Amino acid sequence: MNKVFFAFLCLIQGTSLFGQEPMLVHPEKISGYFREIENATKKGFTLWNKDLYGSILLVDPKTRYIYSNEPDPDNIFKLQNNIYTGKLPDNMNIANTSIQWNGKSWAMIMLPLPEDHYDRINLLAHELFHKAQPSLGFVHSNKESNHLDQKEGRIYLRMELEALKKAVLSDSEKEQKKHLTNAFIFRKYRNSLFPESAAIENQLEMNEGIAEYTGFMISGRNQEQAKKHFISSIDTFYSNPTYIRSFAYYTIPVYGYLLSVKNKLWNQKISTNTSISDFFIKNFKISIPTDLKSASEKNAHHYNGVIIATEEQARENKIKEQIAEYQARFIEQPHLEIKFEKMNVSFDPRNILAIEGQGTVYPTIRVTDNWGILEVGNGALMSPDWSKISVSIPTKTEEQRAEGNGWVLQLKDSYIIKEDKKTGNYGIFKK
């Protein structure tokens, strides 16, 4: 690839680092998936005035085997039963994302796909939106909302989501507007507690949030199915270890769905520079009080405020211990520090942990670079500027392969691992 590519795993489906048995998928089942999404995108044409259907790679993460609806430019794929098949190169990361490969734009989705029809269409349409995103005028932008790993940030996000659940279930427009107003009060107060957080949240919501809204709308759920989907997905979201990269999948689809009842094509009025919060506030005709603190505290008990605060205090105490352990492993103790040259990375956005001033710990991550392939299953520290990554010291090294606590590194022949005798840290260097 000609540019750095960040593959954010939207819906992780349990891959392993150390090899697994092949998974066989019947060709007719794959053909059915392609027919489903092709029909759904045609029906959803008016959403963006564009048929989002296009080049798809369904990839088995266990075998790296590919099923595609289109040929590749280099004719590597084989045509079998109207499906193009092949194998993904080892230097490419697997994720639910959009990629540029062999001069062509693809939507990549990991197998197995969801069993539920609506969830399956939702996922496929989400990634097809990302593929079409540049042509629709939206940039790919993802930045960690690290304040959502802090107690106050999480409390007011959860109360915002509780208000959204009540808005979805409301029987009257008046009641719905009350809950929407409180949702935005919690949001605005949260943003007032953390300077610049509104702009940071907006980046992910205008990327993943709009993509997920697109997926939801194209899925074709009816009103009752929509209500069940939102309530269930938000409740499931709460169990995620972290919210800093995943919250947008649950906020924008709800706001967008409720606004679509009034204006089905509201999404065509926004651009990559839109403040999505202010856009919704204006279009829902909501008035925000000046004293956000008092309004938030006054309404908290309507949205499980006491329970949420208690749970988040307990989590904060636990997280402090975890951060101390990570600081010792990746900063204070000897470790392997790997500098990036031409990095390509995929990870699970649901379980990362920010360490203030030091970077972000990714419990599971896969990195490819000029020096080789790093696969991590037990934590790695990404620097704040994404220039390097740190893992624990190697415990086993043989030729061009090294292993440590939960990680495996496959080096190319022109690189070696060296220890700095003064610090005890290790690094990767050209021979």
* Sign, Cα dihedral of 204, 206, 212, 213: positive
How far apart (Å, rounded) are the C-alpha atoms in residues 397 and 409?
9
Per-residue pLDDT of the chain (431 residues; tens, 9 = 90+): 333 334 444 433 333 333 333 446 788 899 999 999 999 999 999 999 999 999 999 999 999 999 999 999 888 899 988 899 999 999 999 999 999 998 899 999 999 999 999 999 999 999 999 999 999 999 887 788 999 999 999 999 999 999 999 999 999 999 999 999 999 999 999 999 999 999 999 999 999 999 999 999 999 999 999 999 999 999 999 999 899 999 999 999 999 999 999 999 999 999 999 999 999 999 999 999 999 999 999 999 999 999 999 999 999 999 999 999 999 999 999 999 999 999 999 998 788 998 988 999 999 999 999 999 999 999 999 999 999 999 999 999 998 999 999 999 999 999 999 999 999 999 999 99
How far apart (Å, rounded) are the C-alpha atoms in residues 409 and 402?
5
Q: At how many degrees (to 10) do helices 117-132 and 27-43 cross?
A: 70
How far apart (Å, rounded) are the C-alpha atoms in residues 339 and 386?
9
Q: Which percentage of the chain shows pLDDT scores above 70? A: 94
Element (H, E) at 287: none
Element (H, E) at 144: none
Q: Where are the domains of the chain?
A: 5-136, 146-303, 334-430
